Structure 1
């Protein structure tokens, strides 16, 4: 592989095979390469905050190692469609893993990777690490969606939760039929049957601003369907707390940061905290450690 592929900044479309191209941008130098994986309908831009007074995760990580971000199919960039070619929707975490694997290989971005996943992106990075253990040396999970959320709820509660996760996109689909949608249940089944994670440095970041008090006003404003129970945010909070604690037990000596002073989008509300967590994992990988010091 040419050295230029490792050290040059890159932003553009990459042919991943099968007649498809995906958008990727990479910056910085050094190993391990950090790969940022956004949440549902989030593009590479998700890692660059609009508030210029705050650090950008993408730009800050590029100062100490190689970093890449990309667009999954159907992830809008502002008011514009995804820069990656459309695919049949809905997709699953396994589809996300396959696309990311083909993308990194096609662009010759060398392993090992430290994978950073927000929300649904966390499901993808966990499955990637289980599927390609030799390629992944560390993980940062940013208020990640996990099967533990479903496990902590009753069969009657879960359909409401699933609707909130997937979102009501009927109107959006009229304007953008290729919009990313996911099959949450199938994705959870995929992670449940995947091999266990091997020991590696892991940081779990959990939001600490509760959903409970927010739900009634979100229902009143039309942001949530009228059939959502007004107290459902408290159900979500309790289930998510259990789910995040399970994530912190995925590998020995994982670091769980619960005081984040943030809602769900920690990488936008507290980007420096995410950057510092990534740096901890990168430093551990470089020193050959399998876990983080507490």
Structure 2
């Protein structure tokens, strides 16, 4: 089966090389690139083929959140590199284990718009050329979507892995959102003491940037949503000191309800999008169910290769 797949990839690359030749011949990348203003950012790319999968990790997560597999788990990044070119990067303030970020620090908090500008400059500096399939987790979803709206000629497909969206705020009352925002940010007192440049995002400003941007163009899109509920977990998290004692013990059910609405809105962004809700997973679907994530990305990549504008006509 592996040989048959490799032959398929070779045929696709040969057929597409007249249109997208550069990335089909590119070598691996692992290093820092100057993006302007004296700043450097870390970028890692492997594999070859088009479109290029660009992975946007969640809040305070470095490229290693995707490039390093947990023991006994499927290595998502290596699997992707087996059928196309894939890149991941470090945003400023995203530690690598106990080490600082490999990207130069910036003033915090930042917005999705700041991250989009950085990513655009980094891909150009690394010589990574479109077309792209954006794969994003958590807060990274705001960045991926805004990038696609700002640069529609570059992004041809997307996979959103239980991503944060403005729909979460829209689905809650102002009073609920105050609590939700505090839970999203978490208690960073100790983290800031150990690593002052740690990434912090201004969610409201990022949501406003998304709302003000042009609509997302039709493209193959898969939305993967966690289905393990928060509701029953909150009382123990409060008791263990993970969440503040002031957190309402039933607030997990508020989050579950709002997330269901928010994730459904993401799946309605473009015609023909596919929404996968039966994931048997928590928030980190790429770690809980890596094969599902790989299969979803492969589906979008192949749709882009066939020139599909959505998934509903495959």
User: Which TM-score bucket, shorter chain as reference?
Assistant: over 0.9
Q: Residue in 2 aligned with 1:264?
A: 283
**Helix, strand or coil for the counterpart of 1:15?**
strand
Structure 1: gaps of 5 or more residues: none
Deviation digits for residues 258-292 of structure 1 (CA, Å, limit 9, x no counterpart)? 00000000011111111100000000000000111
**74, 78, 85: which is aligned to 2:104?**
85
After superposition, the C-alpha distances for 1:199-220 in whole angstroms (9 at most, x for unaligned) are 0000000000000011111111
Matched residues in 1 for 2:126 and 2:97: separation?
A: 25
Match of 2:118 among 99, 104, 107: 99
| Counterpart-to-counterpart distance in 1, 2:75 and 2:23 | 25
Report the CA distance between 1:57 and its aligned residue.
1.4
Q: Is 1:193 aligned to residue 193 of structure 2?
A: no
TM-score (norm 2): 0.91
| Count of residues paired in the alignment | 294
Runs (4+) of structure 1 exceeding 4 A deviation are 1-6
Matched, 1:127 2:146: yes
Q: Show the counterpart of 2:130.
A: 111
Change (3 A) 1:159 1:288: same
1:63 aligns to what?
A: 82
Shift of 1:3: 5.3
Partner residue in 2 for 1:39: 58
5+ residue gaps, structure 2: 1-19
Shift in Å at residue 52 of structure 1?
3.0
CA RMSD of aligned residues (A): 1.5
Equivalents in 2 of 1:259, 1:3: separation in Å?
38
Larger of the two Rg values belongs to structure: 2
Post-superposition Cα deviations, 1:154-198, rounded to whole Å, max 9, x if no partner, equal 011001101111111011101100000000010001001110001
In 2, Cα distance between equivalents of 1:6 and 1:175: 42
Do the aligned residues in 2 keep the contact of 1:206 with 1:260 (CA within 8 Å)? yes
Equivalents in 1 of 2:143, 2:306: separation in Å?
26
